[in-house]
Homo-oligomer: A and B are copies of this chain.
Amino acid sequence: MYLGLSEAADFLKDCRDAVIIVHQSPDGDCIGAGFALKDILGCFGIRSRVECCDAFPSRYDYMTSVGCGEDFEPQTIIAVDIADTQLMGCLGEKYGDRVQLCIDHHISNTGYAEMTLLNGEASATCELIWELAREMGAEISEHCAACIYTGIATDTGCFKYDCTTANCHRIAARIIEDYDIGFAKINRSMFEVKSLGRIRMECRVIELMEYYLDNRITMICITKDIMEQMGVDSNDLEGCASLPLQVEGVEVGLMIKEREPQVYKISMRSAGDVNVSEICRTLGGGGHAKAAGCLLKGSIDEVKSILIETVGKAVCR
Closest beta carbon of chain B to A101's beta carbon, Å: 29
**CB-defined contacts of A173 to chain B, threshold 8 Å:** 166-167, 169-170, 173
**CB-defined contacts of A177 to chain B, threshold 8 Å:** 166
The answer to whether A98 has its CB under 8 Å from any CB of chain B is no
CA distance A167 to B173 in the complex (A): 7
Total interface residues on A, CB under 8 Å, equals 38
Closest beta carbon of chain B to A273's beta carbon, Å: 11
Interface of A, secondary structure class, is: helix
Name the CB-closest residue of B to A203: B203
Task: List A165-198 residues whose CB lies under 8 Å from chain B.
Answer: 165-167, 169-170, 172-174, 176-177, 183-184, 187-188, 191-196
Name the CB-closest residue of B to A209: B196
CA distance A20 to B211 in the complex (A): 42
CB-CB under 8 A for A196 and B215, given A191-B160, A203-B203: yes
Closest beta carbon of chain B to A99's beta carbon, Å: 33
The answer to whether A73 has its CB under 8 Å from any CB of chain B is no
CA distance A193 to B253 in the complex (A): 13
Per a CB cutoff under 8 Å, which of B165, B170, B192, B194 touches A170? B170
CB-CB under 8 A for A192 and B246, given A167-B173, A176-B169, A203-B207: yes
